[in-house]
Structure 1
């Protein structure tokens, strides 16, 4: 009697318990998230390595979004060509920025001497308080601490000074190169931005071009709304703190207002930091009571920005919660410092709009889908070039045959050998 055949299915079955479905799905999500994080890390590293080029291009995009309505106005109302309108708009913005910096610099130079004298007097008062106050520090102790602070600020003596000077020269060169790149890119973005965008979209697979174009249109609207709203918020901060400093007769009120305006482009943090400078100037120039009043003015302006301007204007423009704005600024400053804090909110706002559209939620349905970008055809560039060269050579052969004639030569052009043969 034969033995029954063994059950191979049972023998090959795993001995351990099966992996739960939840663990399988978690593992699948985990390695995908790790790949995404690795890709983001590589992208951040590339941006950091090429920041001298990428940062000016990003600023050029912001300036282009800001100047596009102005260029359109010049074209419609003043009948300028696109190139002339772009040049006039860009030059006008440069003149405005240079004028603001010139006014701020001149005011700062005029008031710096008086402010320095007042700061010296304030230091003398603090020194007298340290000697006569509850600390009862002697002149030797004060001199010792002053020497330590001086050594700390010196960063290692002459070598530290030389290193700082070299670093400053390199930074100045980067700023100059970045400024030229920004101006150059801004002009051509204004002049030929549609063609540049069509070329970029043409690099994508054909099935995704239209989706990317429509999503980018929504992102551009978000970026424009952010830029205009941030300028309005910065202007309100600068006017509020500047008027408060002028009423309190704080020196350098105009330069402080311009500094607050520039600093306010970093949401939440920028106006607070520049307002702190105004409080310190008031403390040195006018004393602690005026400094307290100046602090109250800065906090009042910050409350108006945080509870009125940011929720109603910025929240409506970019559709981001204030917590998201704060976290974006914190993460951007942690990754890339001041530049990261400056670009964090617009990047998050644009990415939010684009992702929502790609997932079926259109924040700007009034834009429609009638705008289509013209891209290249289906042909392959190398194949198209080869076909064109072959067609040209074929056309040249046909033209030469028609010029010389396909039949036998007759008349004066006939060969004498052929004539002798005909005579026989």
Structure 2
């Protein structure tokens, strides 16, 4: 059986395509870390483009980017100044007062006959006193662990600086980058791509703005509730609630549990019960009233897609991936919808053209028949 002459060339072309795809995937795997940085920088640039564009109306774009960056970089230092001093002070106070707490527990156990019998069998209070006496030394070792964590954070500075530099270039280029890329495409396709990119940029910017508003509302209301309950560190705890509110699906629950632990040490169980009731009521109010009103025009993503996007985003990029998962899913949905419209339009064009040509063909046939009849006469 003889193969067609084009068969060997088809096989070679198929093999070359497979090899090219395999090499491309391998290169992407090798560059996965820089590509991750590039993706994060692009998202950050879209998120910061709103305030940068607003400030650039009154000043040069470079100054606007500098101001936004300064505000962005001072945020971690403000959070550290807010959290670290009170936490260190309370940890030292706890370490110093814990032996006294253990002695009070021992006296209470000895005054109760049932607990005293348990104590004589298991020697619980002596073990608690030993643990309390060794707590300061354990705190020192814990400080060493924290220093190791700090070293790991320092090693991540390179990634952070790279992302910020990439984001600065994207912000500085503005529309020039987009216009330069669109100039390479045909006019009709360039117009469609420009529309898609504008919609994606608006979706990301609106989502970030809405998420910040939701976080601000959650933090302020939590601060008021904690002040009413008299819980210590109401300010830092409210900041924790606001920051965790940026994490989709699980952030508010995690923040409520963290604050709930602090309420255990102040007016238990009243403060804990009130806080738990408030957290449940507010989460329902946020999910059914605040979120739909603020994010309704920003993203239009079904709940199932949100869940899948958060799982995939957290797996690929960790905590940051969970935060950017929803706008990324909205962007993909916009692109797929536009692609579907494009394919549908292209599929309808040949049918429309064929229907338009059919009457012309019939007229030509009638004219030819008339000409033949005239010639016969």
Same fold (TM > 0.5): yes
RMSD: 4.2
Structure 1: runs of 5+ lacking an equivalent: 1-34, 362-424
Superposed displacement of residue 227, structure 1: 0.6
Segment drifting more, 113-122 vs 174-183: 113-122
Out of 189, 194, 201, the position equivalent to 2:175 is 194
Correspondence for 1:108: 87
Cα contact 2:105–2:125 (8 A) shared by 1: no
Matched, 1:132 2:115: yes
Conservation of the 8 A alpha-carbon contact between 1:56 and 1:181: yes
Task: After TM superposition, give the deviation of residue 322 of structure 1 in Å.
Answer: 3.2
- How far residue 185 of structure 1 moved from its aligned partner, in angstroms, is 2.1
Matched residue of 1:285: which SS? coil
Q: Secondary structure at the match of 1:268?
A: coil
Q: Is the Cα–Cα contact under 8 Å of residues 47 and 204 in structure 2 kept in the other structure?
A: no
**Between 246-255 and 191-200, the greater mean CA deviation after superposition:** 191-200
Q: TM-score, normalised by structure 2?
A: 0.66
Q: Give the aligned partner of residue 93 of structure 1.
A: 72
C-alpha displacement of 1:123: 8.0
Q: Distance in 2 between matches of 1:66 and 1:135?
A: 61
CA–CA separation in structure 2 for the residues paired with 1:121 and 1:352: 60
Show the 5 A alignment for 1:4-23. none
Match of 2:325 in 1: 344
Q: Which whole-Å CA distance do the structure 1 matches of 2:39 and 2:99 have between them?
A: 43
Distance 1:124 1:307 in 2: 50
1 or 2, which has the higher helix percentage?
Answer: 2
Q: Distance in 2 between matches of 1:201 and 1:227?
A: 26
Provide the C-alpha distance between the structure 1 equivalents of 2:105 and 2:194, rounded to a whole number of angstroms: 63
Deviations 1:272-320 (A, max 9, x none): 1022100001113332321121112222221121111222322432012
Stretch deviating more after TM superposition (320-329 or 111-120)? 111-120
- Say yes or no: does 1:273 pair with 2:254: yes
Match of 1:233 in 2: 214
1:353/1:56 Cα in 2 relative to 1: closer, same or farther (>3 Å)? Answer: same
> In the superposition, relative to structure 1, how do residues 287 and 218 fare at CA in structure 2: closer, same or farther (>3 Å)?
same
State yes or no: 1:328 paired with 2:312: no
Question: 1:219 maps to what in 2?
Answer: 200
Please say if 1:82 is aligned against 2:65: no
Distance 1:125 1:195 in 2: 71
Cα distance change, pair 202–309 in 1 and its aligned pair in 2 (3 A): same
- Counterpart in 1 of 2:273? 292
Further displaced range: 317-326 or 275-284:
317-326
How many angstroms does 1:231 deviate by? 0.6
Q: Aligned-pair distance for 1:220? A: 0.9
**Stretch moving more, 237-246 or 320-329:** 320-329
Q: CA deviation at 1:133?
A: 9.9
Shift of 1:233: 1.0
**Against the structure 1 CA distance between its residues 116 and 141, is the aligned structure 2 distance closer, same or farther, given a 3 Å change threshold?**
closer
From the superposition, tell whether residues 261 and 55 of structure 1 become closer, same or farther in structure 2 (CA, over 3 Å).
farther
8 Å contact from structure 2 (residues 50, 205) kept in 1: no
Say which SS state the counterpart of residue 156 (structure 2) adopts: helix
Q: Is the 8 A contact 1:229 1:314 kept in 2?
A: yes
DSSP-derived class of the 1:284 partner: coil
Distance 2:158 2:227 in 1: 37
SS state at 2:174 partner: helix
Gaps of 5+ in 2: 1-17, 343-377
Deviations 1:142-200 (A, max 9, x none): 959x99xx9xxx9xxx9xx99x7897466324421122123222322221133333455
Alignment of 1:172 with 2:156, yes or no, is no
For the residues of structure 2 that align with 1:141 and 1:125, how far apart are their CA atoms? 10
Residue 251 (str. 1) matches residue 235 (str. 2)? no
Contact 1:119 1:285 in 2 (8 A): no
Contact 2:182 2:193 survives alignment (8 Å)? yes
Q: Which whole-Å CA distance do the structure 1 matches of 2:217 and 2:197 have between them?
A: 30
Aligned mates of 1:352, 1:124 — CA distance in 2: 62
1:50 aligns with 2:29: no
In structure 2, C-alpha distance between the alignment counterparts of 1:325 and 1:123, rounded to whole Å? 48
